[in-house]
Structures are given as C-alpha cells and as structure tokens.
C-alpha cells in the first residue's frame, strides 16, 4: 500500500494535501473532496488515481503516469458524477463522460535557434482524440488557433521580435475537462535564420471598415475598470438607441478566482426569435457571419464581438450577444469571474458599460440584444444567465445541438 493511500485511509471526510510530490497509486473509495494543494501525484503505471465512489471531487492536483510503457491512465473513474477542478494530467482520463482517451502529446517542442529582433513563425501538427482549448503561457510567443479539433491540427507558434541571446521557455496548455502541458523552448540568436514555416498569426484577425480597427481595442487591466463620467452606466432592462453602425462589445472583469475559458457567441435571429440556419450562430468555429455583420474575436485573451449593423441581412430583426464558459465542468461558472462587465465601444471610443455582478452558478449569459425598432437599431441590456450552459440557449434559438 502506498503511503498516500495509507494516509487517506486513516482519515474520514475530505482529504487535503500540502504542496509536494506523492507516489501513488491512490484509490478514493468514499464520497469526499480531495484537494491536492497544487501537488503532484505520480506512479510509473496507471491508473495513478482511481475514483471508486460517487460524490467525489478532485481539485488542484497534477496526476502523472510516468512510465514509458504499460498503462498510461492517469485518472480512472467508475462514476459519471466525478468532478475534476483545476486538475492537470500526464496520461489518459478513463471513464469520465465527455473525456476521450488516447492522448499522445510531445512533452517538449523545441524551436531551436531563431533570428533575434525578427518575427519567426513555426508550424507544428498536433493530433488530438478530442476538441481542446489551446492556451499559450510563453512570454513573447503567440499560438493559434485557440481552439483545436479532434484529429490533426496545424498549430502556428509565432515569436515576437525577441532580443539576442534571449531564451524562450514556458508551456502550451491544452484544456478539456483537465489540462495537459507541452513545454516550449528556443533561443533568439543574432544571425540565425528567420523561420517562416507558417503564416504569422499576429495579423490574423482583420477587421473591415468602417470599424477602423487595425487592432482590437486594448482592454485595460483590472484597476482600470472604474469608468470616467463620459462612459454611461447601463442597468439590466435598460434600452438605448444606437447612433453608429459599428459597435465593439468587450467582455471584461476585475479578475478570476481560477482560470476559465470565456467565449463569445452571437445569434442572428428572425422576427420569430429563431436563426434561419446553423451558420447564424457566430462563434470561434464560425467566427464571421456570411455578410460580415458579426465577427467574434478576442482582445488580450478576452472575448470581443464586432458588429457592423449596416451589413445585417434584411431578415435579421435581433442580434443576441452571449458569453459562455467553455467546457463541460459545472463547477466552472460565473462564480469564478469577479465583476463581469460589458464594455461598448463606438467610433469615438468607449461609451457605455454594463455590470453583471449578480451572476453566480450560471455558465452562459445573454448579455445584450441589438434589435430593430421603427427602422433604427437599439440595444437592450439583458444579463440573464443559464446554469445548464450553452446547449439550452442554442435550442431556444433554433440551433441544432447533439
């Protein structure tokens, strides 16, 4: 019996670890919360962690199957209600609904020596057994796309103009119900070749006129959320006329209690409140509407919706702007987002804010609706959330979901 198993068996109720490394395996055979305290649990063979009871939550733990051969299962659960919060794995997760097995990722991507003071772009193929979000944690490096699909994905890594003799080191994070890590390393060297193995991603979010946004508006840090007197403060249920065709809607916050992926979703709706087809849902996999009246992008890793209302099809009576936390973990909801706030920009800059402080267990929110009224466009501030997530909202608007 492992020492950690013995320690678990001696206790009743929840189980808390102090930061460190612990050799497994560990079997959780009672309903409880296991808080790893950001520790690592490892074993040469899997399963490293087995959930053998209902009502188990595992959080703040890295679980590693370290052996090069044999079973590579990091976590195995026999119950569908197992909750994983802030869990990182090296290996597979077996038995968890919605979590695929068969992950085989490189532990390190080496960029080698690349040209200093130049933009370099590298291309890599990653084969995934399921969809995942891609987050880059390397300073002076961009990664695209931010959403990867099941199968082969071409990933572009673009450096900034890094100074000579600077070493890049950090990680790419792939997020499903858990997080998986790939380390990235490289060195900027004067006189080294410029790598342009892929098209640079820094200009990959073009925005057409009349928005005049060669770059999305920079969202200030948390301390800058106190608006000046020229910025109106909207409240739920308030309606306001729009005087410009171009509108930028940024979703900001004071901070997060732990990292979550927040994405923008926009529905083009007919008079009956339904879409005319699935392409009228604009989101990261369909980032621009057919006429270009809606684009979904990001600024400083925060979701941003761009509207050009004069390009909206004549049948469009309403545009619902929504934001949803990506993933299937019910514990990842708006209670983790501190002071969620909409910020509206026009041609002269920011003109309105809408605080959504009362959101909690909701995972999806209808932030606002832009609608036609007597031949003009108006905005209705909604701020209504759904605990059940995005699928319920899609069905409400007539989008087919599995």
**251 by DSSP, 3-state: which?**
strand
What pLDDT does 211 receive? 33
Measured torsion, CA atoms of residues 12, 15, 21, 24, in degrees rounded to the nearest 10: 50
Query: In whole angstroms, how far apart are CA 126 and each of 106, 144, 182, 246?
Result: 9, 12, 11, 37
337: which DSSP letter?
A: E
Which residues pair with residue 54 across a beta bridge?
Answer: none
pTM of the model: 0.52
Confidence at residue 51, expressed as pLDDT on a 0 to 100 scale: 96
pLDDT at 281: 92
* Distance in angstroms (rounded) separating the CA atoms of residues 42 and 28: 15
Return the CA Rg of the chain: 23
- pLDDT of 217 reads 47
For residue 201, what pLDDT is reported?
A: 53
For the chain, residues with pLDDT lower than 70 are 1, 198-230, 300-301, 401-402
Within 8 A by CB and 6+ apart from 380, the residues are 237, 238, 239, 368, 369, 370, 371
Task: Give the pLDDT of residue 107.
Answer: 87
Separation of CA 117 from chain center: 30
Question: How many whole angstroms separate alpha carbon 316 and alpha carbon 148?
Answer: 31
pLDDT at 199: 60
So what's the pLDDT on residue 358?
83
* 226 contacts: CB under 8 Å, gap ≥ 6: none
Neighbours of 163 (CB within 10 A): 11
What is the Cα–Cα distance from 288 to 293, expressed in whole angstroms?
A: 8
Per-residue CA distances from 197 to 118, 120, 122, 123, 124 (Å): 14, 8, 5, 6, 9
CB burial of 77-88 (b: ≥16 within 10 Å; e: otherwise) equals beeeebbbbbbb
């Amino acid at each position: 019996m492992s020492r950690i198993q013995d320690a678990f068996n001696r206790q009743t109720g929840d189980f808390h670890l102090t930061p460190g490394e612990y050799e497994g395996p560990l079997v959780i055979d009672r309903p409880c919360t296991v808080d790893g305290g950001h520790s690592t649990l490892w074993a040469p063979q899997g399963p490293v962690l087995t959930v053998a009871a209902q009502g188990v939550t595992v959080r703040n733990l890295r679980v590693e199957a370290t052996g090069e051969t044999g079973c590579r299962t990091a976590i195995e659960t026999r119950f569908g209600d197992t909750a994983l919060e802030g869990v990182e794995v090296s290996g597979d997760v077996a038995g968890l609904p919605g979590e695929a097995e068969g992950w085989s990722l490189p532990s390190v991507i080496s960029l080698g020596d690349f040209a200093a003071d130049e933009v370099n772009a590298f291309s890599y193929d990653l084969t995934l057994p399921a969809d995942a979000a891609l987050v880059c944690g390397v300073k002076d490096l961009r990664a695209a796309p931010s959403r990867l699909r099941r199968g082969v994905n071409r990933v572009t890594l673009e450096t900034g103009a890094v100074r000579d003799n600077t070493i890049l080191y950090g990680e790419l994070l792939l997020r499903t119900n858990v997080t998986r890590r790939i380390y990235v390393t490289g060195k900027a060297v004067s006189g080294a070749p410029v790598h342009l193995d892929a098209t640079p991603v820094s200009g990959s979010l073009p925005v057409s006129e009349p928005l005049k946004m060669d770059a999305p508006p920079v969202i200030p840090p948390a301390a800058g959320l106190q608006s000046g007197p020229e910025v109106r403060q909207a409240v739920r249920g308030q309606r306001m006329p729009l005087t410009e065709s171009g509108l930028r809607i940024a979703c900001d916050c004071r901070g997060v209690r732990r990292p979550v992926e927040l994405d923008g979703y926009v529905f083009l709706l007919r008079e009956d409140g339904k879409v005319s087809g699935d392409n009228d849902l604009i989101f990261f996999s369909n980032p621009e509407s057919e006429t270009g009246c809606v684009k979904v992008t990001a600024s400083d890793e925060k979701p941003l919706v761009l509207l050009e209302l004069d390009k909206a099809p004549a049948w469009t009576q309403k545009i619902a702007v929504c934001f949803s936390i990506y993933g299937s973990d019910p514990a990842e909801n708006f209670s983790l987002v501190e002071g969620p706030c909409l910020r509206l920009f026009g041609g002269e800059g920011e003109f309105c804010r809408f605080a959504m402080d009362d959101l909690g267990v909701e995972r999806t929110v209808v932030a606002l609706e832009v609608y036609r009224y007597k031949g003009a466009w108006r905005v209705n501030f909604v701020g209504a959330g759904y605990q059940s997530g995005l699928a319920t909202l899609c069905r409400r608007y007539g989008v087919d979901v599995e």
